[in-house]
Each structure stands twice: as C-alpha cells, then as structure tokens.
Amino acid sequence: MTDPELEQRLRARLAVIEKDLAGHTQSRSRFVTEAASHLLEAGGKRFRPLLVCLTAECGPDADAPEVITAASVVELTHLASLYHDDVMDEALVRRGADSANAHYDNNVAILTGDFLFARSSELTATLGAEAVRIQAEAFRRLVEGQILEGVEPEEGVDPVDHHLEVLAGKTGSLIATAARYGALFSGASQEIQEALVAYAEIVGVAFQLSDDILDIASDESGKTPGTDLREGVPTLPVLFVRRANDPGDARLLELLDGDLTDDAALAECVSLLRAHPALAEARAYVQARAEEAKTALAPLPEGPVRTALEAFADIVAVRSV
C-alpha cells in the first residue's frame, strides 16, 4: 500500500471482518465451535477479505455493510475448503498448527468444513439472489477443481492445461468472487466488475503457479524444498519437463517416476530441476500471467487502488524468481 489513508480504511474493515468471522464460527455446541474456530484462530493471510475490501474502493459505497458480509462469505468458504483439503491430502499441519483431521479425526474435519460451508451459505442468502448465484457458481468450480486434482487428464488433454484448469477452479474461482463481490456491493459499474474478475482469475492462478516454482527453487518458502515432489503433486516445472520428453532428461524422469521418500533421491531430483530449462520456462509463464493480469485492469482509473492491485501482480511475478 502506497496510500496511508487507503491502508487505514482497509485495516479498519478487516478488523471488523475478523470479529465477524469469530462470531460466524459459533455453534450451540461448544465442541462444534472449537472445531470450527480451529483454523480461524491459527491465522492466515486473509487475502480474500482484503481483496473484497480493496475492490469495494472502486465503487461509490465502499463502506456498505454488504461488503463486510461478502468478505466473511468468501473467507468462510475458503476456510471450509481447507478442512476438506487436509483430509484429502492427509495433511498433519496447517498454518503452523495441527490440521483439524490430525487434531480431531477425518469425520470431524469433513463435517466441520460442511458446517462452515453452511454458515457461508446462510450469509450469502442475506445478500440476495445474485450473490447466491455467484457463490453457487464459485463453489461448483471449486469442487470441480478439487475433484480434477485427484484424477488423470482425459485422453487428448495436455497435462499442463489440466493443471491450469484445476488451479482455476480451486483457487481462481473464489478469488474472482472476492473481487466481484467488493465491486458489486459498493456499486461499481459492470465494466469495472468484469475487469476486476478477469484480473483476479489470472492473478489467483499465477499465485498458485508461483508456489509450484518455490517448491523447487526456494529454501525460504516456509516448507522443505521438494515437498510437492515427494508427495507426487503435479507442478508446472515438472509438467514442462514431462511435456518436453527430452532423452537427455532420462535420469530426471527416472527420479520423478521413482520413490522420492528417500532423502538422497529427492535432493538429486531437486538439484536437477533447479538446473533444468523448465524452471526458467515456468518462471517466464508466471511473469507473463502477472503482466496479463495488470493489463486486465485497464478500465480502472489511475489511483491507489489500481496501484495496489498492480503491485500484488508484481509480487506474484517476483516471488517465483
């Protein structure tokens, strides 16, 4: 943020949203409340509520109460998806704390995610039919992306395209909804709404793709390099290696197809990937998407909101370098 007044307004709204989120996780049952608050209390970037509040600055009524409600809707939906993600991934840690499935069990984690989805739906209903339609579409895309992540691409489908479709569903859909809600409920024009949705779809996927790169390239990303490799999670650099199908990559492909639970094998695989042209290709792809996202903002007037959105796109590009 380069505008102190904008930053102050956003911080004030986020403080209200944080209190609201705590209230929305409450249940008549103390146990349900505890489980539903588990990941909320562990923290998080709150990027989606922030985006709602920031894009609301594009309309004449940025402080509309519907903006605050919409911000809670998208964050509760995101939190709910994390409960389900951790069960599917058999994760043990989330945001530096025990995952809900590790702290409780899979059944509790799944049902708690359902509880949070229900809370999100209740709130969406107060925003009107159009909000319900937008949320339903985002939820459908999110679930489709989650399902597609666990299956092989259909015959004739490029695995890279399949990976991008997964990320567009799992991540891009809800981030785009956050951008639309902020603009919609503050009274921004349809042209501005569409520009913000296009931006958010692109930058959301690009952010996840930069994580693909950091899994290989960074020793300071907050997780051990090669975590996704070890777990067999598809990432953009690996998909580029496989698509090239270069005979000179025989050893790397052997490692990728082998058992990477062995520390020595994983270290060798990471080392080969760091030296491979596919890593530079993946970085160039992310940087191009970040520029594309910034271009989508053309209908927005010059000012601190557009500057902040452009700066985030630049961060997405730079963090993968």
Considering the domain architecture, whether residues 297 and 280 belong to the same structural domain is answered as: yes
In angstroms, the Cα distances linking 106 to 94, 99, 119 are: 14, 10, 20
Considering the domain architecture, whether residues 182 and 198 belong to the same structural domain is answered as: no
Domain boundary (188, 219, 248) is at 188
Considering the domain architecture, whether residues 114 and 10 belong to the same structural domain is answered as: yes
Domain boundary (144, 171, 188) is at 188
Considering the domain architecture, whether residues 200 and 87 belong to the same structural domain is answered as: no
Residue 180 and residue 190 in contact, taking contact as beta carbons nearer than 8 Å: no
Number of domains in the chain: 2
Task: Please count the residues of the chain.
Answer: 321
Residue 2 and residue 304 in contact, taking contact as beta carbons nearer than 8 Å: yes
Considering the domain architecture, whether residues 170 and 274 belong to the same structural domain is answered as: no
Considering the domain architecture, whether residues 200 and 244 belong to the same structural domain is answered as: yes
> What's the pLDDT at 36?
85
Residue 48 and residue 175 in contact, taking contact as beta carbons nearer than 8 Å: yes
Q: What is the CATH number of the domain that holds 155?
A: 1.10.600.10
| Strands 97-98 and 93-94, sheet pairing | antiparallel
In angstroms, the Cα distances linking 38 to 108, 111, 189 are: 12, 13, 38
Question: Which sign, positive or negative, has the C-alpha torsion 214, 219, 223, 226?
Answer: positive
> What's the pLDDT at 35?
86
Residue that is written with structure tokens 């930058």 in the block: 203
pTM for the structure as a whole? 0.91
Taking the C-alpha atoms of residue 72 and residue 244, their distance in angstroms, rounded to an integer, is 43
Domain boundary (122, 157, 188) is at 188
Residue 307 and residue 1 in contact, taking contact as beta carbons nearer than 8 Å: no
> What's the pLDDT at 59?
97
> What's the pLDDT at 321?
63
Considering the domain architecture, whether residues 160 and 126 belong to the same structural domain is answered as: yes
Residue that is written with structure tokens 């809670």 in the block: 72
Considering the domain architecture, whether residues 259 and 202 belong to the same structural domain is answered as: yes
Considering the domain architecture, whether residues 239 and 260 belong to the same structural domain is answered as: yes
Considering the domain architecture, whether residues 128 and 205 belong to the same structural domain is answered as: no
DSSP state of 153: P
Considering the domain architecture, whether residues 26 and 133 belong to the same structural domain is answered as: yes
Taking the C-alpha atoms of residue 83 and residue 38, their distance in angstroms, rounded to an integer, is 10
Taking the C-alpha atoms of residue 233 and residue 313, their distance in angstroms, rounded to an integer, is 25
Helix 304-319 to helix 190-217 angle (10° resolution) is 20
Residue that is written with structure tokens 């964050």 in the block: 75
Residue 1 CB burial class (10 angstroms; 0-12, 13-18, ≥19): middle
Considering the domain architecture, whether residues 275 and 225 belong to the same structural domain is answered as: yes
Question: Which residue stretches of the chain have pLDDT < 70?
Answer: 89, 91, 94-96, 220-223, 320-321
Provide the residue range defining the domain that includes 250. 190-320
